[in-house]
Amino acid sequence: MVKKSRDKNSLSIIIVGCGKVGSTLVEQLSQEGNNDITVVDKDRNVVHTLCNTYDVMGVVGNGGSYNILMDAGIEKADLMVAVTDSDELNLLCCVIAKQVGNCATIARVRTPDYSTEVGYIRQKLGLTMIINPEEEAAKEAARILYLPSALEINPFAHGQAEMIKFRVPQNNILDGMTIAYLGSTFTSKVLICAVERSGQIFIPSGAFRLAHGDIISFVSSREDAKAFLKDIGFNIKQVASTMIIGGGKSSYYLAKQLLHSGIRVKIIEKDPERCEELSDLLPNAVIINEDGSNEDVLKEEGIAYTDSFVPLTGIDEENILLTLYARQVSDAKVITKINRISFNNVINSLDLGSVIYPRYITSEAIIAYVRAKQDSMGSNIETLYHLFDHRVEAIEFRVDRDSEVTDTPLMNLNLKRDLLIAFINRKGQILIPSGRDCIMNGDTVMIVTTHPGFNDISDILRED
């Protein structure tokens, strides 16, 4: 295969490991401009499939080998991402890359033994980033269980602001309310950023009228988010108990967080040796050595009475079936983790509650870094999330210098359509902006848009 020509802002990227996370990275990064991507994996068939599906180069072999990385072009690479199944191999790949080339390095490290040493490992090995998809998925699940009315919660501004997704129930106060009325009469401390209705996405204007069944994403400070949800009739108390099916890494990370917050945790795991390990690691959790996919076991262990239910087995289909069963026999808040299945239309048609995709957590963090590295303007990407099946992007920019978007009232900026400036974070204060507010040097600014691929805050402006 002949390498494609690169523009000045494109990057040379090597991805070692082509499992579910690596393949997702290839898919996502292939859409991120004219980047030169090379994949490395020992499985010849996997490499061949990715090279035929996407415009990427492939090298078959062990990514921890100096010779293999040289064949992949490590000497001239801008970024290497190691996401094999082995933490140690990922770290070795990054060490070799730092010694041979001058590239940034990102490693997936999932083992709980390393989770408390991430800062030390990153500093000593000179890594750009360490990513733990299981731990990040657990954090996402925990945020939802702390506020079970939400379908999804994405933090911004180092946790000071949140974007929260929920569904408008029938006869809710929002049913029939316009965005303008909501902002001027009901509350001005939240901003409705995006609405999904019958599969269609809207970046709403003030005249947009909400309806029951709408899936809404709004942004506000953490405190104002809870107050808003309470005012519109939602329960804002965290769950008191949770039942987790499966005792893998994600279960451990989630249980540890929930126990720390005073939530009772029961884990059902069929491997007796893993149950012994979990009993030692999580002495305050109830560990049950049974098959969590057995209906009688679930009934006996109290699925009908638990506040929340989170299937975290390694099999997507099993997680989905367990969630659907829980919806039938209990009123529990349910969260479904999906690793591989990509039938989005089918998934969205099922009543699965909150759905978490660990592989996208990894890809979004890396895409944010890639876009920031491509940018040579006056801002940088702090946080990036894809919403509504990747049809909407929420991006937080750090503004580093004066430019055409700074010190000008927002009402006077020639903004692109289908775009909202959701908040301005100024020295830790979250501002829901009006048209009279200005972006200033030193702010971080969150925008929500259906336009893909923004690299810089100046991308919010029309070119005409």
Q: How far apart are CA 56 and CA 81, in angstroms?
A: 15
362 in helix, strand or coil?
helix
* Distant-in-sequence, close-in-space partners of 104: CB < 8 Å, separation ≥ 6: 78, 79, 80, 128, 369, 373
Contact (CB, 8 A) for 353 and 336? yes
Tokens of 323: 């969630």
pLDDT tens per residue, range 332-362:
999 999 887 666 667 777 778 898 988 888 8
Indicate if the pLDDT at residue 382 is higher than 60.
yes
CA 349 to chain centre: 21
Fold classification of 361-460 is Alpha-Beta Plaits (3.30.70)
* Distant-in-sequence, close-in-space partners of 450: CB < 8 Å, separation ≥ 6: 201, 203, 391, 392, 393, 418, 419
CATH class name, domain 241-356: alpha beta
Mean pLDDT value across the chain: 90
12-131 and 241-356 have identical folds: yes
Per-residue pLDDT at 7? 54
318 in helix, strand or coil?
helix
Alpha-carbon torsion, ordered 149, 358, 127, 426, to 10 deg:
-30
pLDDT tens per residue, range 420-453:
999 999 998 999 998 999 999 999 999 999 998 8
Tokens of 394: 């929420």
* Terminal alpha carbon distance of the chain: 38
4 — pLDDT class (breaks 50, 70, 90) = very low
Please say whether the dihedral angle defined by the alpha carbons of residues 19, 21, 25 and 28, taken in this order, is positive or negative: positive
192 — pLDDT class (breaks 50, 70, 90) = very high
Which residue blocks in 211-343 are alpha helix, DSSP H?
A: 222-231, 249-260, 272-281, 295-300, 316-329
Mean pLDDT of 284-305: 96
The maximal CA–CA distance of the chain, rounded, in angstroms, is 66
pLDDT tens per residue, range 89-138:
999 999 999 888 888 999 999 888 887 788 888 888 888 889 888 898 99
Domain at 12-131, CATH homologous superfamily: NAD(P)-binding Rossmann-like Domain (3.40.50.720)
Mean pLDDT of 409-423: 93
Backbone angles phi, psi at 39, to 5 degrees: -105, 145
Q: How far apart are CA 213 and CA 168, in angstroms?
A: 5
Mean pLDDT of 303-325: 94
pLDDT tens per residue, range 126-171:
888 898 888 989 999 999 999 999 999 999 988 889 999 999 999 9
- pTM beyond 0.85: the answer is yes
pLDDT tens per residue, range 21-71:
899 899 888 887 678 999 999 999 999 999 999 989 999 999 999 999 999
Domain boundaries, the chain: 12-131, 241-356, 361-460
* Distant-in-sequence, close-in-space partners of 426: CB < 8 Å, separation ≥ 6: 440, 442, 443
9 — pLDDT class (breaks 50, 70, 90) = low
Per-residue pLDDT at 5? 46
Q: How many residues does the chain have?
A: 464
